[in-house]
Structure 1
Amino acid sequence: MKSICVYCGSSPGRLEAYSEAARALGAALVERGIRLVYGGANIGIMGVVADTVLALGGEVVGIIPDALVKKEVAHTGLTELHVTRSMHERKTLMAELADGFVALPGGIGTLEELFEVWTWAQLGFHEKPCGLLNVAGYYDALATFLDHTVAEQFVKQPHRSMLIVESEPAALLERFRSFTPPHVAKLIVEQDT
């Protein structure tokens, strides 16, 4: 695994634990020689994880749409900064450059990005691991809801299991290293008899 895409908030959030986890994830990436791919901002959790990787001598690739360069305050000290024309182009490039995807705490954009790449994995568009770094229980309610989607038979258990949930960066990255995607048909067509 050469590159991990990290989705996370452009806000620091309420708890210092979120920034601590971003620093721990950044350190874990550098220890393993894994390049960070992320949204390109220098603020919030995004800035913390990028600055940590850079400070420890790692590589950071930021990808930010032109319309958000001023709004999100683009990080100018990165190994590479790509400015795209749209959010769609941003997400596509992030997915192309990454070997796996992690969501730290974040808001609607973080969730949307993670759910999109997880859906792509479910549909077989890629075979890269997707995970939640569940800092201070931030994703507990989401994980419970996702289990509910399985119980209600909207999501198959193998597809639910594709989204790896861990509370420590090292454990999450180890599970990424050993990840094998399930090969389960997405659609079931029922026939009347």
Structure 2
Amino acid sequence: MADLPLFQEPLDAGQTPLDPDEARGLKLGWVATRADLNDAEGENILQGMRWANTQVRKRDVVVHGEAFLRQLHERMFNQVWEWAGRFRQTERNIGVAPYQIAMQLRQLFDNVSAWQEFQTYSLDEQAVRLHHQLTFIHPFPNGNGRCSRVMADMFLLRNGGKPFTWGPPPHGAQVRQDYLNAIRRADAGDVSPLLAFVRS
């Protein structure tokens, strides 16, 4: 199982701030600092990744679908957040409006199926576009980047590819900034920097 760079940094480094109601969804009373939260989420994420690796071996599991996405997010965050696996209900400065999430995801997953059927893009580019569009839709209150990176890696594994490196190690602040810059370029329509970054 590939190590997933969690890119966990203080909120001012690019993480989505939580709505006060969502922040109240924290299950762990001992979490007092960002470092505590990173530790708790990190362990939960590893458990979610182990679950995903078992699922990807099952041929009847569709790894580019809403059910898998929801289950994956829940498995990655369910020991920390009450809303794990549930779509957000609040507006954000990024992402589509909450009422558009389900429709946008259906369209994305239909597109992924078409990319596969017609070999529109290389496998790496399909995974990059899947990852980018998931972050753009931003379906969950938080954890979208981390969940969508696992989705992309599972998509690659299911289709005979190798997981991405997600930038050169160590995965610290500069690599996170490079990742965010590549995401912004993809938001503007140019996925080539993100495509290069994921294998650097």
- State the TM bucket, normalised to the shorter chain: under 0.3
Structure 1 length as normaliser, TM-score?
0.26
Between structures 1 and 2, the one with greater helix share: 2
Which has the greater radius of gyration? 1
Q: Determine which structure has the larger strand proportion and give its number.
A: 1
